[in-house]
């Protein structure tokens, strides 16, 4: 048999095999995109699919997480018993989040919204400087720039006081700085580990499946959750990030410590869950933690988003830097509009990821057609990830409105239920919307035809983005 004939046979073997394995437990659009790629480019396509096509985790990791579920349930029950509201809630969103992320809603928390980028870093440094026992951090980006070095200096002072500092850093998100920041942290005595390390065969998983959480914990009684990484606001030249972060104290911090404990065990084998204590009530905010991703419920964040949209009666506000909704989210928005629900989505005009932004723009016409109001920040990147519905529920976290956050990456969301906190969050979002410019139907229809073609070509990649 000639080499040419052998290669031809190989290509058809790949195509036939792909038909059997690619569609398994995948959304139709995602499976179709992969099959098209493999059918046209069998060898490169199957290599790419093997690298990033499957979101399944190694069996050892699944077994490890399953083994901890009884302890998770025990902690969740203990937290629920501390609920100052006293009775079990019948709120459907609380039930969805509890069944997806395993943690209950809990009252008695203090909630502070941080929207000033540098002020958030300064407050975090102040809290680290006051730590007496431990500092735990998960960062998608931890840079060795001036902002990162400011946090490193605070961690160094903490280590010298005898504080145990543990840091998880994603090596893809922090690729530009990873080796340097790892060396800096190890050099001052911080126990730093890579999340989903790329060099480990035992921990092999989808290469683009990342831990996208941003979580900073001090002494088990203060927590930061939101969209802000440890990096300068303008780390991309000419682009200034705008963020929303929640600083909280109270029983909900125990839930966030439990999420860190899972992430830490996955990378080190060391379980910290037995060291978690439940802080006493510190305020009136009612909060609930949702961890989503392959370890927990892979579709937890999407389930939360769908529940919020389906339950809305009057108005939904969304802030997201990346807007590539899947069919279920689009259908939920269409149904909400038919109910008369006003939907306002704030995005950015800045193109920090050109292909992603082009794919995003391909959805604007469809959203405008159903009556969704789109506004775009004139300056900087709205990197915040926020949802507010009817002033009845709010969400602040790390999840974008794209396939990556909806069902792939490890994400973290803080769900807010009390009236005062939601009102404050809604006012924050309203200010962002007021400072942005509307994307009108007339403006959008006037863009060049070539732009539409390029956008639609980019949209074909959206199930893979």
DSSP secondary structure letters along 297-358:
BTTHHHHHHHHHHHH-SSEEEEE-S-B---HHHHHHHHHHHHTT-EEEEEEES--SSHHHHH
Catalytic residue among 127, 170, 383, 410: 383
Tell me if residue 212 is catalytic.
yes
Residue 384 CA to residue 128 CA, distance in Å, equals 23
Catalytic residue among 26, 136, 357, 385: 385
Residue 24 CA to residue 26 CA, distance in Å, equals 6
Catalytic residue among 26, 212, 295, 357: 212
Contact residues for 230 (Cβ-Cβ < 8 A; gap 6+): 121, 137, 139, 141, 142, 143, 147, 148, 151
Burial class (CB in 10 A: 0-12, 13-18, 19+), 348: buried
Tell me if residue 383 is catalytic.
yes
Q: Are 101 and 290 in contact (CB under 8 A)?
A: yes
Catalytic residue among 85, 91, 145, 390: 390
62: its two tokens: 């699944």
Contact residues for 336 (Cβ-Cβ < 8 A; gap 6+): 309, 310, 312, 316, 343
Contact residues for 45 (Cβ-Cβ < 8 A; gap 6+): 14, 18, 34, 37, 38, 39
Residue 169 CA to residue 328 CA, distance in Å, equals 32
Sign of CA dihedral 436, 437, 440, 446: negative
Tell me if residue 379 is catalytic.
no
Backbone torsions φ then ψ of 377, nearest 5 degrees: -60, 135
Tell me if residue 385 is catalytic.
yes
Say what the alpha-carbon torsion angle 263, 267, 270, 275 is, to the nearest 10 degrees. -20
Nearest to 308 by CA among 326, 289, 329, 294: 329
How many residues would you count in the chain? 465
Tell me if residue 263 is catalytic.
no
Tell me if residue 136 is catalytic.
no
163 CB neighbour count, 10 Å cutoff:
20
Contact residues for 238 (Cβ-Cβ < 8 A; gap 6+): none
Nearest to 385 by CA among 411, 423, 359: 411
SS3 labels along 418-455? CHHHHHHHHHHHHHHHHHCEECCHHHHHCCCHHHHHHH
Residue 366 CA to residue 439 CA, distance in Å, equals 13
Catalytic residue among 26, 136, 214, 357: 214
**Active site members:** 212, 214, 219, 383, 385, 390
């Amino acid at each position: 048999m000639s080499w040419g004939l052998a290669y031809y046979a190989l290509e058809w073997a790949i195509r036939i095999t792909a038909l059997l394995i690619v569609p398994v437990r995948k959304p139709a659009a995602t499976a179709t995109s992969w099959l098209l790629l493999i059918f046209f480019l069998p060898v490169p396509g199957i290599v790419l699919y093997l690298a990033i096509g499957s979101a399944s985790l190694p069996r050892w990791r699944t077994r490890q997480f399953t083994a901890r579920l009884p302890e998770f349930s025990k902690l969740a029950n203990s937290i629920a018993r501390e609920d100052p509201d006293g009775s079990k809630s019948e709120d459907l969103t609380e039930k969805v989040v509890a069944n997806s992320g395993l943690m209950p809603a809990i009252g008695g928390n203090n909630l502070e919204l941080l929207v000033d980028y540098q002020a958030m870093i300064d407050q975090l440094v102040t809290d680290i400087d006051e730590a007496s026992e431990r500092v735990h951090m998960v960062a998608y980006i931890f840079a060795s720039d001036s902002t990162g070095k400011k946090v490193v200096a605070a961690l160094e002072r903490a280590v010298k006081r005898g504080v145990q500092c543990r840091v998880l850093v994603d090596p893809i998100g922090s690729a530009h700085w990873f080796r340097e920041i790892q060396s800096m942290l190890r050099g001052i005595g911080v126990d730093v580990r890579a999340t989903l390390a790329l060099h480990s065969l035992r921990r092999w998983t989808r290469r683009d499946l990342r831990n996208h959480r941003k979580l900073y914990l001090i002494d088990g009684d203060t927590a930061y959750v939101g969209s802000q990484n440890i990096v300068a606001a303008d780390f991309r030249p000419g682009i200034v990030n705008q963020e929303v972060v929640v600083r909280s104290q109270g029983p909900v911090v125990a839930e966030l410590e439990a999420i860190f404990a899972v992430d830490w065990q996955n990378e080190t084998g060391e379980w910290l869950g037995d060291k978690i204590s439940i802080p006493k009530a510190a305020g009136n905010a009612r909060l609930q933690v949702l961890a989503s991703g392959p370890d927990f419920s892979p579709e937890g964040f999407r389930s939360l988003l769908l529940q919020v949209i389906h339950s809305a009666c009057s108005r939904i506000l969304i802030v997201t830097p990346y807007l590539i909704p899947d069919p279920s989210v689009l259908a939920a928005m269409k149904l909400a509009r038919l109910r008369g629900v006003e939907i306002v989505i704030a995005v950015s005009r800045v193109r920090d990821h050109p292909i992603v932004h082009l794919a995003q723009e391909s959805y604007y016409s469809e959203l405008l057609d159903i009556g969704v109001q789109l506004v775009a920040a004139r300056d900087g990147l709205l990197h915040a990830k926020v949802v507010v519905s009817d002033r009845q529920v709010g969400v602040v976290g790390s999840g974008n409105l794209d396939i990556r956050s909806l069902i792939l990456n490890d994400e973290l969301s803080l769900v807010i239920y009390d009236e005062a906190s939601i009102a404050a969050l809604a006012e924050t979002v309203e200010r962002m919307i007021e400072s942005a410019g509307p994307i009108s139907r007339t403006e959008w229809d006037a863009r060049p035809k070539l732009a539409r073609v390029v956008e639609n070509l980019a949209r074909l990649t959206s199930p893979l983005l």
